A and B are shown apart, each in its own frame.
Chain A
Amino acid sequence: MMTTTEILEPLARMRDDEIVVTSMSTVRPWGRLSDHDLDFASADSAMGHTADLALGLALAQPGRRVVCLNGDGSMMMTLGTLATIVESGSKNIILFVIDNGTYEITGSQKVPGAGVVQWADLAAAAGFPRTYVFEDAAEYAAKIEEVLEGEGPVFVQVRVERGSARPISRSQIEESRYLKTSLASWSRCMRSTLMEEES
């Protein structure tokens, strides 16, 4: 089993100009590691639709990698998205499922199928050409460059310890810049940034 920090720190070190979409238990820890205009917190958003949002970004920005840090509970809500991603033809999305077996934010209740569902197998069956399963921090750190490079879509299941993240707000009391503003404001800023870089 890994910790959330062991997932995010190697990713932050490798991060170049990728869009990084966080959700649930990764929102605050990523915000402590990164303060980038292309970070997007899927917080105060729709239940289970983080990977869908990331797919939209990936389709809009085919020349840029999009890393989506999804939770297992969120992914379970929209399993069809695995097929949608493959069907879309997107080659630039890297979809992580942070597999802690719980709905951590709401009090660590068990996710149906926790410990039974083999996420990477599901993704492979849906047509993901590259899938990974990590539960060892050293192995993960050694492979992260390979994960991020090359053609996708890529699916990464990471088995992590249960945490104790609390509900996330969008307000000035939050530490991270991307949580200090509304979802609408951040969306507009990010669209402007991406359109400026394209022009």
Chain B
Amino acid sequence: MNARESADQASESPSVSTPVPQAALVVEALERLGVTHVVGLPDNGHAALYMLLETNPSIEVVSVTREGEAWAIASGLWVGGKNPALAIQNCGLLESGDGLRGTAMRMRVPLLCFISYRGFEKMVAYEVEPDFDWHPDTLTREELDSAALLLEPTLRAWGVPFYRYNSDDDAGRVAEAWEQAEREERPVALLMTRGLRAGEVAPKPR
């Protein structure tokens, strides 16, 4: 499946009444998949995920100072025999292009990447869909977030398959994306359209 096809299969936009997805379900999925490390730079969207991982005994967090580091560190972890994943924000993804290209993509590292879709809800509110050919007037509209506008076109251009993760109903996509990454030996992204929340599913004790 190519990136455009995967985008076409992305979820419908979440409605306002859909509950915000739980970080605990993501952590449970990562545990089931045997993920050993989450590499990234905390942001609002992933705050609850990082909070749960702080006390998780089976998944180590590697914090970076800039997202470009994350692709290379994760790639090194994989060569070293581990099973890492990434968690970064969309503006961090845009910053990290050469790190992604020159390590995870060039090395064909099967890598699951969670990307916070900052600004997604504004796109929905103003009925703007991702486009490859943004007019500068759109990119500078103060009510929109250009990090959101450029996320999906950038991933398509870079050849990274991606899927939207809108609610707990999408928890199965973690395993699906992981399996695709393993099968195709490439990074696959899950776009977290809403900030995760700390959920009712308690982390396992140490």
Contact = CB atoms under 8 A, between A and B. Distances in A.
Which of the four size classes fits the interface of chain B? 20 to 34
Contact of B63 (A56, A87, A183): A87
Interface string B28-54: 000000000101000000000000000
Interface of B: 37, 39, 60, 62-66, 68-69, 71-82, 84, 98-103, 106-109, 185
Q: Which of A44, A53, A54, A194 has the most CB of B within 10 A?
A: A53
Given A55-B73, A88-B62, A184 B81 contact: no
A80 B101 CA distance: 20
A56 B75 contact: yes
B72 A60 contact: no
B73 A46 contact: no
Q: Which 3 A-B pairs have the closest CB atoms?
A: A56-B76, A60-B80, A46-B102
Given A52-B72, A56-B79, A57-B79, 16 more contacts: A46-B102, A46-B106, A48-B68, A52-B69, A58-B80, A59-B76, A59-B80, A59-B82, A60-B77, A60-B80, A60-B82, A78-B66, A80-B66, A80-B69, A184-B107, A191-B80
Contacts of A87: 63
B108 A187 contact: yes
Interface residues of A, number: 34
B173 to A, nearest CB: 25
Given A56-B79, A83-B65, A194-B80, A47 B102 contact: yes
12 contacts: A44-B106, A46-B71, A49-B68, A53-B75, A53-B103, A56-B76, A56-B84, A59-B37, A60-B81, A183-B107, A188-B108, A190-B79
A138 interface: no
Interface in A17-66: 40, 44-50, 52-61
A52 to B, nearest CB: 3
A184 B106 contact: yes
Nearest to A188: B108
A81 interface: yes
Contacts of B106: 44-46, 183-184
Contacts of A84: 62-65, 69, 73
A146 interface: no
A194 B73 contact: no
B24 to A, nearest CB: 25
A188 B66 CA distance: 26
Given A78-B68, A187-B108, A194 B63 contact: no
Interface string A68-110: 0000000000101101100110000000000000000000000
A54 to B, nearest CB: 6
Nearest to B103: A46
A187 to B, nearest CB: 4
Given A183-B106, A187-B108, A53 B72 contact: yes
A48 B37 CA distance: 22
A134 B98 CA distance: 32
A72 B96 CA distance: 20
B73 A191 contact: no
A57 B72 CA distance: 10
A26 to B, nearest CB: 17
